[in-house]
Chains A and B, each alone.
Chain A
């Protein structure tokens, strides 16, 4: 029998219904792959063998009866940020030590309702704060990709590094992820996978550990564009439990794949041509432009003048919201408690021991910019700049642009424990320079693999769409995928 873990979700879906193999066989193939690979890749922080087999058994019964859901029997990995009832949910933090929620997040509940099988919880940057998956309490995830002729361990990106590595390394058919500043799209680009951050409000945030509530949005990471469309359809919903969940019907995203893009207007923002950007990134971008042109799209130069202010504004807004959201971790209701001589010392000791360096740094920045006397200078200014960033996009879309094409990241995957990145937090933050604008404006963005760099590492392009126009992103990303081909790492693990 062929290796079942190599099948896409769409392929596995057909073969399961045709009874070529059972959901139990597919799940067992993934569990075996995880058990063999996880000591090397560290993509999973918890593997739910028994639950996976029980869910697969239920799926097999449904498949036999012809009652299969949209994702019946498809084994998925779940980012540790999503609450899963009775299962490890710690946002890869020490402060949530031992936390097993008594409830299920809306996004994962939607997936299980459609028949998906849970393989386990995926590693991530602590509280989704990071771009390399190195801030995890459970240690870094190793990228399944290596440079040609090199054994050097590379990061898978972050914060959804476990999700991206598991999808790229065939340790799940697809994964849930979240994106606050680029945490789906940057790791997707670093691992040759497809990742989409839908419009803010498309997926319910209920039961997802909060980082920055006005920016956080869940989405899938998958092996190809079609699989990403299939997953998003199941993850998205209208949810009364999240007041920012948008009351709009969910389109059949898969149906958008294969639609011609002839006559579509593709905007190329000049501000994304950054100083010191590697030539390879520019060349990749030009290749993407050529592919879309060949497919009949009209290419137009556009200007998004406030682009360079998105990242600094983000580093006020996101830490401010995080400092408020993370106030709940106090050693009283869940997780770690470190005793002190009184209750305040207990809080302080618990938070000192429970949070890692990057999380503390962001809580401190957030507390400072919200503190008396600084609110107007920092937070209010950043929220005004955010209005201008969003207006830049609105102007482009009003002028008739259907979709915007940019690079996904300023470089390919870098090494674990990179000295430059570790010495300067701002350098690490620059990873999100092309993705963070999209979160600030609440728009949908997709990262799609478009080529390899000179050392054989994957690079991605990003497409940005109008609010709730994910269909155009899938449609256009598929054109890029058809032209670029798909990219898979050489197995070494």
Chain B
């Protein structure tokens, strides 16, 4: 399988990365080189093979459903580019 420039632009949109026309052209070639490389996986007979979900067989650890942390609002917003009164500030989402 290979991708065209339109597909690259659509994927960039899904990934929320702005791309220029030049970027999209260049990425098309790069992505096709990688997709060409991974194509060989189709040679492998995977009939009846389970997809891997965990490298080490283990039961998911569960913890008590109790509050172990909190009261850290100032820490949480400390690194944000824009905040107001303990909230993250973003451009208007709803008109």
Q: Which residues of A contact B (CB under 8 A)?
A: 98-103, 199-201, 214, 240, 243-247, 306, 308-309, 312-313, 315-316, 323, 327, 330-337, 339-340, 342-349, 351-352, 355, 360-361, 363-365, 367-368, 371, 374, 377-378, 380-388, 390, 424-426, 429, 441-442, 467
Top 10 closest pairs, chain A to chain B, by CB: A442-B55, A383-B51, A337-B81, A334-B79, A352-B18, A348-B18, A102-B75, A384-B46, A312-B38, A367-B15
Contact B40 A309 (CB under 8 A): yes
Cα(A380)–Cα(B41), bound, Å? 11
With a CB–CB cut-off of 8 A, which chain B residues contact A244?
54, 58
Asked if A387 meets B50 with Cβ closer than 8 Å, knowing A343-B93, A346-B91, the reply is yes
With a CB–CB cut-off of 8 A, which chain B residues contact A99?
79
Contact B46 A388 (CB under 8 A): yes
Cα(A331)–Cα(B78), bound, Å? 13
Interface of A is mostly: helix
Q: How far is the CB of A191 from chain B (nearest CB, A)?
A: 28
Q: How far is the CB of B57 from chain A (nearest CB, A)?
A: 10
Cα(A202)–Cα(B10), bound, Å? 39
Q: How far is the CB of A345 from chain B (nearest CB, A)?
A: 8
Q: Provide 11 A-B residue pairs closer than 8 Å at the C-beta atoms, listed in order of the A residue.
A: A316-B38, A334-B81, A360-B17, A364-B15, A364-B27, A365-B31, A365-B34, A367-B14, A378-B38, A381-B42, A381-B44
Cα(A441)–Cα(B54), bound, Å? 9
Q: How far is the CB of A379 from chain B (nearest CB, A)?
A: 8
The chain A residue sitting closest to B79, CB to CB, is: A334
Cα(A330)–Cα(B31), bound, Å? 23
Contact A390 B90 (CB under 8 A): no
Contact B79 A335 (CB under 8 A): yes
Asked if A332 meets B79 with Cβ closer than 8 Å, knowing A343-B93, A388-B46, the reply is no
Asked if A364 meets B11 with Cβ closer than 8 Å, knowing A200-B56, A351-B16, the reply is yes
Q: Does B80 contact A (CB under 8 A)?
A: yes
Contact B88 A333 (CB under 8 A): yes
With a CB–CB cut-off of 8 A, which chain A residues contact B61?
240, 243, 245, 247
Cα(A330)–Cα(B90), bound, Å? 11
The A-contacting residues of B in range 52-75, CB under 8 angstroms, are 52-56, 58, 60-61, 63, 72, 75
The chain B residue sitting closest to A319, CB to CB, is: B34
Cα(A360)–Cα(B37), bound, Å? 18
Q: How far is the CB of B20 from chain A (nearest CB, A)?
A: 9
With a CB–CB cut-off of 8 A, which chain A residues contact B17?
348, 351-352, 355, 360, 363-364
Contact A368 B3 (CB under 8 A): yes
- Considering only CB atoms and an 8 Å cut-off, how many residues of chain B contact the other chain? 52
Contact B81 A336 (CB under 8 A): yes
Asked if A315 meets B78 with Cβ closer than 8 Å, knowing A351-B18, A380-B51, the reply is no
The chain A residue sitting closest to B17, CB to CB, is: A351
Q: Which of B16, B63, B92 has the most CB of A within 10 A?
A: B16
Contact A315 B37 (CB under 8 A): yes
With a CB–CB cut-off of 8 A, which chain B residues contact A344?
16
Q: Does B4 contact A (CB under 8 A)?
A: no
Q: Beyond the given A201-B55, A344-B16, A365-B31, could you list 16 further A-B residue pairs with CB under 8 A, ordered by the A residue number?
A: A214-B54, A246-B56, A246-B58, A313-B41, A336-B81, A339-B91, A342-B91, A342-B92, A343-B91, A349-B18, A364-B27, A368-B3, A381-B41, A381-B44, A387-B52, A441-B55
The chain B residue sitting closest to A102, CB to CB, is: B75
Task: Select one of A246, A371, A426 contacting B33, CB under 8 A.
Answer: A426
Task: Select one of B34, B56, B81 contacting A426, CB under 8 A.
Answer: B34
Q: How far is the CB of A198 from chain B (nearest CB, A)?
A: 12
Q: How far is the CB of B69 from chain A (nearest CB, A)?
A: 10
Contact B41 A364 (CB under 8 A): no
Contact A312 B37 (CB under 8 A): yes
Q: How far is the CB of B73 from chain A (nearest CB, A)?
A: 11
With a CB–CB cut-off of 8 A, which chain A residues contact B49?
384, 387-388
The chain B residue sitting closest to A96, CB to CB, is: B79
Cα(A355)–Cα(B42), bound, Å? 31
The chain B residue sitting closest to A330, CB to CB, is: B16
With a CB–CB cut-off of 8 A, which chain B residues contact A201?
55-56, 58
Cα(A61)–Cα(B46), bound, Å? 61
With a CB–CB cut-off of 8 A, which chain A residues contact B41?
309, 312-313, 316, 381-382, 385
